[in-house]
Amino acid sequence: MTTTALAEPAATPVAGRKESWAWLLNARLLIGLAIVAVFTLCAFVLPFFAPADPSMQSTYMKNMPLSAEHVLGTNSLGQDIFWLLVFSIRNSLILGGIVAVGVTIISTIVGLSAGYIGGNFERVVMLVVDTFITIPLLPLLIMLGALIRANQAFLVLAIIIFGWAWGARTVRSMALSLREREFINMAKFSGANTFDILLREVFPYVTAYMLVNFINTMLFAINTEATLAVIGVSRVEIPTLGSIVFWALNYNALFTGNYVWIVAPIVATVVLFLGLFLSSTGFNAAFANRRGVL
């Protein structure tokens, strides 16, 4: 499910506009997509070749240096750092993808209906949206982590429930500007009902925002999970980009001189996040260009 969700961004904008999609290409987008593609490919294909489950401790000798057998060496728990990293990136991407699907669906429905229907309905919805934006998420997640040693599924749900508000805000402002356009009136006078108009007329305009929103949500979700893992309130046995750093900090990787253990996940995270961010702003710029707004 997640693999298709991840592949989707590249496919959607191309599908409808087959004539020429050169407009889509700009330097940022190309660099961003290249980085994301390499990471996704490695994260989902390489695990099939893994010699052992990297989350198992004491599989190898502890603190081995870099070698042909262990590309990034091993850590103080006897795990192979390279394979640990590959599995972490995969788990983080899966989590980000699932959250992004959920958040995109909710924020699109809420934002579209609020922006299009307007009136008191919009006021109430925007009040709730603003509340969810104001509530600091991390304290709530720390509490949930303390109450139920958060399993991943629950964490995903919590991030979706508290993460949809920003997207809904963006989609709503888009829908607001569409409400007054001629072709919407045209559809209305032709007798189309609200649902039809939302689905057939407004929705296609919002898809570009949804795509950008999707990538941004992935960033947000991966970041949130990693944050919880680093301070040790999520299931840190599962390798993710955050839990690697947690174990490295806990075993004082710096004092023991095992720099790779802590530097490798940092570098991987920065590059992956940069890739996702460049893709999202690249798409944004491309769509703005096409609409002629820049």
Partner 1 sequence: MGVLQYVAKRIGIYLCVLLIGLTITFLLPRFMPANPIEAYISQLQARANGQLSQEAIEAMRTNLQELYGLKGDLLSQYFNYMRRVITQFDFGLSFSFYPQPVSAMILGALPWTLSLLLVSTIIAWILGNLVGLVAGYFHTKRSATVLEIVGILLYPIPYYILAVSLILLLAYVIPIFPLSPTFPVGQMTPVKFGMVLYNSLLPALTIVLAGFGWNILSMKALAVATTEEPYVTYARLKGTSNRTRMFSYVFRNAMLPQVTALALSLGTVFNGAILTEILFSYPGVGLIMRTAAGAGDYNVLYGAIAISLIAVATAALIIDLIYPLLDPRIRRR
Q: Which is nearer to partner 1, 34 or 128 (CB)?
A: 128
Question: For residues 48 and 51, what is the distance between their CA atoms, to the nearest angstrom?
Answer: 9
Q: Which is nearer to partner 1, 42 or 161 (CB)?
A: 161
Task: Pick the binder of partner 1 from 36, 89, 144, 260 (CB under 8 A).
Answer: 144
Task: Pick the binder of partner 1 from 99, 168, 262, 286 (CB under 8 A).
Answer: 262
Check if the beta carbon of residue 208 is closer than 8 Å to that of residue 283.
Answer: yes
Identify the DSSP state of 202: I
Please, where are the H alpha helices in the chain?
2-16, 27-45, 81-117, 119-134, 137-147, 152-163, 165-179, 182-189, 194-196, 203-230, 241-250, 259-291
The verdict on 250 binding partner 1 (CB under 8 A) reads no
Task: Pick the binder of partner 1 from 25, 45, 186, 270 (CB under 8 A).
Answer: 270
| Residue 18 in tokens | 């087959």
The verdict on 134 binding partner 1 (CB under 8 A) reads yes
Stretch that binds partner 1, among 77-85, 91-99, 109-117, 140-148 (CB under 8 A): 140-148
Q: Which is nearer to partner 1, 34 or 266 (CB)?
A: 266
Total chain residues near partner 1 (CB under 8 A): 41
Question: CA of 157: how far to CAs of 99, 161, 172, 217, in Å?
Answer: 8, 6, 23, 14
Task: Give residue 251's region: left, alpha or beta (phi > 0; psi -120 to 50).
Answer: alpha
Q: Which is nearer to partner 1, 19 or 237 (CB)?
A: 237
Stretch that binds partner 1, among 78-86, 98-106, 182-190, 227-235 (CB under 8 A): 227-235
80 pairs with which residues across the strands? 74
Task: Pick the binder of partner 1 from 14, 27, 143, 186 (CB under 8 A).
Answer: 143
Sign of CA dihedral 76, 78, 80, 83: negative
Q: Which is nearer to partner 1, 160 or 276 (CB)?
A: 276
Question: For residues 160 and 154, what is the distance between their CA atoms, to the nearest angstrom?
Answer: 10
CB of 179 to partner 1, least distance (A): 22
> 12 to 71, contacts with partner 1 by CB under 8 A?
none
Question: For residues 182 and 284, what is the distance between their CA atoms, to the nearest angstrom?
Answer: 25
* Three-state SS at 80: strand
The verdict on 230 binding partner 1 (CB under 8 A) reads yes
Task: List residues binding partner 1 (CB under 8 A).
Answer: 127-128, 130-131, 133-140, 142-148, 219, 223, 226-227, 230-231, 233, 242, 245, 249, 254, 262-263, 266, 269-270, 273-274, 276-278, 281
